[in-house]
Amino acid sequence: MYNLKKIGPSKFLVPKEGKMKVDGLIIAKEELLEVIKEDKSIEQVKNVATLDGIVGYSIAMPDIHWGYGFPIGGVAAMDAETGVISPGGVGYDINCGVRVILLPIKFSDLQEKYGSKLIKRIFEIVPTGVGYGHRGEKHLSDTDFLNLTTKGARWSIEQGYGIEADLDHIESLGKIDGADISVVSNHAKDRARKQLGTLGSGNHFIEIGKIETIYLPDIAKKWGIEKDYSYLIIHSGSRGFGHQVCQDVLNKFIKKGYAENLPDRQLVAAPINSEDGRQYFAAMAAAANFAFNNRQQMMHLARTAIKDICNIDFEDVKLLYDVCHNIAKFETYNIDGKPKRLCIHRKGATRAFGPGNEELNPIFKQTGQPVLVPGDMGTASHILAGLGNELTWCSSCHGAGRMKSRAQASREWKGRDLKTYMREKGIEVHAKSYATISEEMPDAYKDVDIVVDAVEEAGLANKVARLTPAYVIKG
């Protein structure tokens, strides 16, 4: 139907046609293509290729699925001088992302002595679910919003939520430059005043499990990853703050006519160099910095629980890395032998800088940055090392990728005892509602092992470790 052409290992071309300015590129193994073709995400790849200023390819990762405007799992680079910036290329959950934390305890010991107590304690102190759940602490003031969006994750550390060493293990040191809280609506701030340090709903989660397999021992050793030891993952974003920022800008862009002549109005985009484009980036950066703080504060709560239950000190619970996977960032690449500043949209895609990249801290500069790929709550997650492949603007996949809608998954699991089903598979699940669990059951997702195999085969990142879950909190 799409006339795909294989151009290399796990690389398929979507040939340019009609109003497309560039070809499309799909990173996938052949067995994944059949699933990918079941929705209209490839059509969205073609639509993105029509946007002004796009450079290289309109790219889809192997976890691609249908999204708002851009596919989830989509990557697009726009010329910073002549291109556009699109809220649909970032998504509603601005800087939704993942952080992996390493625990200095063998998983067998954790499971035997602390596992259920620990996950229950974290579930008690980290608010989950839809809406305005909060920890009963003071609401964020306008001054707090100014400071946290300006400083990024450093603000939370200054407030006592973390240690200085954490910053070196966060993408972009936990701050996107260019944030301006003055362009963010009061409604967006009001939605988020009680939400810092909260998990949210949907596919957000906290997970504890075992480092099952090591693929690259030298890199794993440099990163402090040890086989059979324990890990903790936090997956969340900017909560109501980012959602409202996105909605406000979409309303504004559509009202101003930026959607005219596009194949899909959800692609609505403003020139990067326009006042509207600059204001969206400033608001997006503010939401991204909120998200860094949100994950930082949840990690502090997890460290508190680990100290209380396992008697492990804060500084011994180490952050491996924190990555964004819904973001637009300015990066410089060589185009036709000349450095060119580009705005890289990554929506459901993870940055994968390789060895030698100047932005990385000394450890990751030797190895390439950690690429964190959570799967589903019943299978596995992966840690990879980025290779800096400029074919995809140094990008990789961000997860397994849905293959069933939330509604379909809920229908198929209706009436079943989901917690017992998961417990029989060796996984203890906590959530406020069965609806959340049913939407996120493992069969709603692609096989994460095949997804990361495609990423490795395409030369985007190399597998370092495979992680298996045992205790899960769903948002």
Q: Report DSSP letters for 149-170, one per residue.
A: HHHTTHHHHHTTSS-GGGGGGB
Higher pLDDT, 442 or 10: 10
Listed residue (294, 373, 299) closest to 94, CA to CA: 294
Higher pLDDT, 207 or 401: 207
Q: What pTM, to 2 d.p., does this model score?
A: 0.96
Mean pLDDT of 149-164: 97
d(CA 304, CA 121): 9
Q: Using 50, 70 and 90 to split pLDDT, how confident is the model at 442?
A: low
DSSP classification of residue 402: B
> How far is Cα of residue 285 from the mean position of the Cα atoms in its chain?
15
Whether residue 116 has pLDDT greater than 90: yes
Domains, in order of start, for the chain? 5-403+445-474 (3.90.1860.10)
Please confirm, yes or no, whether 398 is among the known catalytic residues.
yes
pLDDT at position 104 is 98
d(CA 400, CA 327): 19
pLDDT at position 138 is 62
Mean pLDDT of 272-299: 98
d(CA 32, CA 41): 13
Q: Are 346 and 395 in contact (CB under 8 A)?
A: yes
Q: Report the percent of the chain where pLDDT is more than 70.
A: 97
| 396: helix, strand or coil | strand
Whether residue 132 has pLDDT greater than 60: no
**Widest CA span in the chain:** 62
pLDDT at position 35 is 83
Q: Which of 65, 235, 398, 430 is catalytic?
A: 398
> Which has the minimum average pLDDT: 26-40, 279-293, 362-376?
26-40
65-76 as b/e: b if 16+ CB within 10 A: bbbbbbbbbbbb
Burial tier of 254 (Cβ tally within 10 Å: 0-12, 13-18, 19+)? middle
Q: Which H helix or E strand runs over 99?
A: strand 97-106
pLDDT at position 134 is 57
